Amino acid sequence: MKRLLHALGPHNATQAWGLLALLTVASAAIAVAERGVLPWIGWLIAALVAWKAWLVAEHYLEVADAAPVFRRIVRVFISLAPLALVVTAWLESR
Amino acid sequence: MPKIKSTLSVAATASLSLTDPPAPANAEAAESARPGYTAMWVGITCEFVEFAVFFVVYFVARWSYPEVFRAGAPRLWTLGGLLITLVMLTSGYLLVRTVLAVRRDDQRAARVWMTGAFIVSLGYPLLKWLEIQWNPAHGVIAGNNAFFTVYYYLTINHFMHSAWGILGMAWVLLRVWQGAYRPGNLKGVESMAIYWHATDIVWLMLFSLFYAFV
């Protein structure tokens, strides 16, 4: 799975920037079109923001080269809001 | 007996010493190979902790007033939020290219990329000013309800962090034009980039919480 994600993901900062711009436009378009229509769409927005934050952390911030403690802090932080969004989507879909 | 005394004396001296024991040489080499100053990583950790607390406030308010949040989000300037995101991502990308250029000692390219990063970053205050003009006409006023209060508090706080980043970028731009950064001496420009990318990550979260609200 990890190898598949790596193969499908961007291989340099330029590709990462293109993908980030695409995901940003997509998330705004989804939000405007589906706001309040589909109860599970919050999960998709959470996944998109997690993906974008991961792309910035890996390709821009070079978090893989950071000291282990800071690497863990960045990875925990970028999971917080997406996880809370998933919980919110679940609460609102009940 | 004297041997035991001597051992205890050495142990006591070591435990009371005010200086750290010397780190192994390879640990120092590993530390210097890491991007940016350790102080900057500590700084962005503080920024993350601050915004993690703000996210707690956001979600407590959202779970307490779901209807207020649902009604408030569509009134925000979504295009403005989208453009700010693109500005943050693009200036961050140009900073990455600046760091790469300095690492290979391509001073001319570093000047071009860094100038581009600074100019693009100025789009953020411009868009924020336009958004502040747009908001009152659409009823987006801080005191109106919990959603708008949280929106203003978090986004203006983020803008203040970005303003520091833009000021830092102006300094780094000056130093890049002076040719101050070279391979082996690029912690300054790397640290600037780290700060901006961390602020970028925070903005991506805010974008999903407010502008891409579903």
pLDDT value at position B15?
Answer: 43
Q: Which two tokens stand for residue B79?
A: 């295009």
For residue A18 the two structure tokens come to 């293109």
Per-residue pLDDT tens digits of chain B, which is 214 residues long: 444 444 444 444 444 445 555 555 666 666 678 898 999 999 999 999 999 999 999 999 999 999 999 999 999 999 999 999 999 999 999 999 999 999 999 999 999 999 999 999 999 999 999 999 999 998 899 888 999 999 999 999 999 999 999 999 999 999 999 999 999 899 999 999 999 999 999 999 999 999 988 7
Q: What is the mean pLDDT of chain A?
A: 89
pLDDT at B13: 46
| CA B180 to chain centroid | 23
pLDDT digits (tens, 9 = 90+) for A5-28: 667 678 899 999 999 999 999 999
Q: What is the pLDDT of residue A2?
A: 59
Angstroms from B35 CA to nearest CA on chain A: 7
A34 pLDDT exceeds 90? no
- Distance, in Å, from the CA atom of A77 to the CA atom of B176, rounded to the nearest integer, reads 31
Q: Which residues in chain B have Cβ-Cβ distances shorter than 8 Å to A81? A: 55, 205, 208-209
Supply angle C-alpha B21, B27, B31, rounded to 5.
115
> Would an 8 Å CB–CB cutoff place A22 in contact with chain B?
no
Task: Select the residue of A24, A35, A48 nearest B82 (Cβ to Cβ).
Answer: A24
- Confidence at A35, pLDDT banded by 50, 70, 90: confident
Q: Check A30 against B35: CB less than 8 A apart.
A: no
Higher pLDDT, A40 or B145: B145
Residue with tokens 């390219």: B109
* Partner-chain residue, chosen from A36, A49, A91, that has the shortest CB–CB distance to B63: A91
Q: Do the chains contact at A42 and B33, CB–CB below 8 Å? A: no
In a 13 Å sphere around the CA of B46, the CA atoms on its Cβ side amount to 7
Q: Residue A37 pLDDT > 60, yes or no? A: yes
Nearest to B214 among A35, A65, A91 (CB): A35
ipTM for this model:
0.91
A-B contacts at Cβ under 8 angstroms? 122
Q: Is the pTM of this model over 0.90?
A: no
Query: Chain A residues with CB inside 8 Å of B55's CB?
Result: 80-81, 84
Subunit contact B55:A80, Cβ cutoff 8 A: yes
Tokens of B90: 């693009």
Q: Could you tell me if A81 and B55 are in contact, meaning their C-beta atoms sit under 8 angstroms apart?
A: yes
Confidence bin at A63 (pLDDT 50/70/90): very high
d(CA B6, CA B151): 65
User: A90 and chain B: CB distance < 8 Å anywhere?
Assistant: no
* pLDDT for A1: 55
Smallest CA–CA separation between A72 and chain B, in Å?
11
pLDDT for A32 equals: 87
Residue A63, chain B, CB below 8 Å: the answer is no
Confidence of residue A67 (pLDDT cuts 50, 70, 90): very high
Q: What is the pLDDT of residue B65?
A: 93
Interface of A with B in 31-60 (CB under 8 A): 31-32, 34-36, 38, 41-42, 45-46, 48-49, 52-53, 56-57, 59-60
What pLDDT shows up at residue B174?
A: 97
CB contacts of A25 in chain B (<8 Å) are 82
CB–CB of B161/B202 below 8 Å? yes
Q: What percent of chain A has pLDDT over 70?
A: 89
The two tokens of residue B28 are 């120092």
Distance CA A79, CA B204 (A): 12
A67's tokens: 């000291």
The pLDDT assigned to B1 comes to 44
Is A49 in Cβ contact with B214 (below 8 Å)? Answer: no
A64 vs B: CB within 8 A = no
What torsion do the CA atoms of B28, B29, B33, B34 make, to the nearest 10 degrees?
-30
